Each structure stands twice: as C-alpha cells, then as structure tokens.
Structure 1
Amino acid sequence: MGIIRKASLGVTLGTAAALGYVRLSTSIIAPIPLSDALYSSNTFKKYNLHRNPATNDICVKTIPLNRIRPELLQKEGDLALEFCRAVWKGWGYSIQRRYLHRKYFGADTSSQLWTPEQIAASNFEPGTIVTDHFEVVERTPTEITIRCGDSPRTQGPRASDGLFAIGATIDKDAQVARLTLKSCFFPSDRKVEGDKGPMPGWIENLHQWYSRILMVSAARSLMR
C-alpha cells in the first residue's frame, strides 16, 4: 500500500506541476477587448448575424525570438501557418482528434484533415476543414480564422456557432513572438436577449484551460 500511496502522490504532484507550468506560461484575456479587430471584421459580422453576446477570450503566450526556429522567421506568414498546424497536429488536440475521427470519418469527410501528417502538409487556405468540426473562413499573414461549434456540413446559422482565430505576430523591437488563440462562441440561429454568452462559468473555465493546453502543446513545435 505504501508503494501505491507514493505512486499516487507522485502522479498528483506531477499533474499539479504540469498544470502550474501551463498556467504560468500562458495568460488569458477575458473578455476580448472591444477594440479588437475581430469585432469589426466582415467574418464576425457574417456569422454572428444577430450580434448576439458571446463567450470570448484570448489565450496568449510570448516567446523570445532567439528561441523560435529561425526558418519560421524568414518569410511573413510562416510563423502563423506553422502555429496553426501545430495546434491541430499536437498532443493537446490528440484526444479530440481521435474521438472525432472515430465518430465522423467516412466517405463524405475523407477529404478533410484527419492525421498529423495531413495537417502538417496543409496551407490552411479558406475552405480547409479539420476533423469535421473546424473550417478555415479567413486567412491573413498573421492570423487564421476558423469557424467552429458544429460540423462544416451545416453551413447556415447554428444553435452553437463561433470563431477560433490562431495568430502569431513578431515584435522586432521587443525581440519576441506573440502567439494568440482567440475564441468567440455565440448562437447564430436566433436573437438572444441580454449580455451573457452561451457558456456557463464552469464550462468557460474548462474551455480556457483547454486553450492553454493547446497553446503549450503547439508552441513547443515552434521552438528550437
């Protein structure tokens, strides 16, 4: 029994240390500031038809440029693209990726991105679909915006809708790269009164932890 207790204690301490690292190495901004370009974008206006209140936040991680793989800093857009690839192919998304593959992979979804190898080779142009749940709807050199909340096979308004923007910018003056995962969830099939987003507080908290995990998982792929 003593060995079991020690093993259990080791697992508990290891988990606590891992969660502590995830928390300390990332930050959450909630809600997204009203000055953010997301709100004035045509993409946001298109999908949030009724301008419904949203559950929204930004997960942020800053990395010194001297720790970034140098080939990702040579051409504008390469860092954001590789960061996007890393989000979907990394260990942080692996459980959900496998679950969605078992549930939704078939003849009508086989052209989508399902494996880490497929994801690593994609340029994530608009129209690209990941695991029958995420569709690229806008791409700039510094940010790739993806519609989420339901299968891309549901193109119209949805009871559960949202945008997930994966961004990477370079601050040469500060010599850092700033990575962002921007989430904005809302219903788009009806007008909602009030100012509360669709997620209750405890689900919002779990979502923010998941964003942090995706961030840490993906960021490792960008570093030397």
Structure 2
Amino acid sequence: MGIIRTTVFTGLLTTSTAAAYLAARNPVISPLAATDPIWTSSVFKRHNPSRNPATQDVCIRRIPLDKIRPELLQREGDLALEFCRGVWSGWGFAVQRKYLDLKYRGPETAKQLWTNEELAQSTYDRGTCIADHFEVVEKTPTAITVRCGDSPRKQDPRPSDGLFVISATVDKQREEVELRLKTCLFSSEGTIQGIKGPMPAWMEEMHQWYARIWSETGSWRLLK
C-alpha cells in the first residue's frame, strides 16, 4: 500500500488537481489563535525570550478511526509517535533530507538521525537531532515539539529559529483522529518590533504548501 500511495501522490503533484487535493485534505489555519497553548508554553518562552513576532500556522488532517491501524490506538503516545515517524521518514521530507545529508552529514553529526530507516524507527525522545537542522525539545503523549531553523549545534538565540509541533489526538465524538502540524517561526536573536513574522508573503505560502505535503505523506504511516 505504501508504494501505491507514493505513486498516486507523485502523479497528483504533476497535475493541476494537486493543490485542490492537498488543500481539501490538509487545510491550513493562519494565524494561530491568541489562546493557542504554544504562546504560554515553557518551550516557546525558552526559545523566543524576547517574544519576537512569528510566522505562524497549523495544518490539520482528519482521518476516520476505522482507517487507522488498530494497534496505534491501544497505548497512549503511539499515535503521535507514529505520525512523527511518518513525517520524517515519509516522501514529503525525502528531498530536503537528501540535501541536508549532502551538506551537513559528517563525523560531528554522526549521532544524529540521517537515514530513512533511522527516521522510521526513532522514539524521538527529547534531545534527538534530525539531519543537523531539527531537534526534539519536548515530548508528550500527544505531541512532539521540534526546534528548527538552524543547526541544533547552535543552542544560543539565532536569526533563524522556530518550533514545529507534531501532534495526534483522538476525537471520540467525531470518531476521527486529528493530526496537526503547527509551525511558529521567528528570530530569537535580539528584539524585533512589530507583529509580522520573518517570512515574506510568498515564502510563507510556499511553507504552507510544504506543510500540507508533510501532513499528507506523514499520515500514510497511520493507515491500515
């Protein structure tokens, strides 16, 4: 089934229906609500101490429970972890992974996750580093939060920074699983005035389409 889904999706990307397909199944909401828990979270306060303005959005994918692999619904935490594995080992991240591999893989980054097999099997505990560009900074039963924007070897505030929250929850009332990819990108270096995030409009739109691709291809790992 994985090969079939990849083939179908690759075909869709070459047609004019790709955008409509992705948008319908993976809607993006931007900006985040003022009440979104990320704004009061310790991880946001720690990595954006000056509360600099952020490019912010959330991509949502909903899947009926009867289409989810049943073993993922038995134990708390398995659903979010498997979605996280799907995001990083899936087709959506493949091109970027290969680019980062060629540019940054070496003796100093050997303990990070690089191969598709590693990305598909990791438990994504706090401190896990991915392709010298992402680091898990928080893990709960329903969400895995990753710092992004620069190398995890650079722990101090930096011009390009951000948080990426990968989450999965069960909506029993609707009998669905809700998958979310929440993005909050900012500069953590110094103090920036205003309310606009660091991305220009065209780049923000590209980012949202990329999030839709990650959401869609990452969700495939949860399906029967």
Q: Give yes or no for TM over 0.5.
A: yes
TM bucket by the smaller chain?
A: over 0.9
- AA paired with 1:171? D
Q: In the comparison of the two structures, how many residue pairs are matched?
A: 214
- AA paired with 1:96? Q
Which aligned runs of 4 or more in structure 1 are off by greater than 3 angstroms? 11-14
- AA paired with 1:51? R
Q: Distance in 2 between matches of 1:13 and 1:81?
A: 27
In structure 2, the residue matched to 1:172 is 172
Q: Distance in 1 between matches of 2:116 and 2:76?
A: 24
For the residue of structure 1 that corresponds to 2:194, the secondary structure is coil
- Render the CA deviation track for 1:11-62: whole Å, top value 9, x for unaligned: 8994212232111111111011111111111000000110111000000010
Work out whether residues 132 and 152 of structure 2, in 8 Å CA contact, stay in contact via their aligned partners in 1.
yes
Q: Distance in 2 between matches of 1:57 and 1:117?
A: 29
In structure 1, the residue matched to 2:4 is none
In structure 2, the residue matched to 1:158 is 158
Q: Distance in 1 between matches of 2:14 and 2:190?
A: 45
Give the superposition deviation at 1:175.
Answer: 0.5
In structure 2, the residue matched to 1:5 is none
In structure 2, the residue matched to 1:125 is 125
Q: Which runs of 5+ in 1 are unaligned?
A: 1-10
Q: Percent identity?
A: 53
Change (3 A) 1:49 1:31: same
- AA paired with 2:35? S
State the superposition RMSD in angstroms.
1.3
Alignment of 1:1-224 (within 5 A): 14-224=14-224
> Which protein is bigger by CA-based radius of gyration?
1
Q: Distance in 1 between matches of 2:29 and 2:95?
A: 26
In structure 2, the residue matched to 1:4 is none
Q: Which runs of 5+ in 2 are unaligned?
A: 1-10
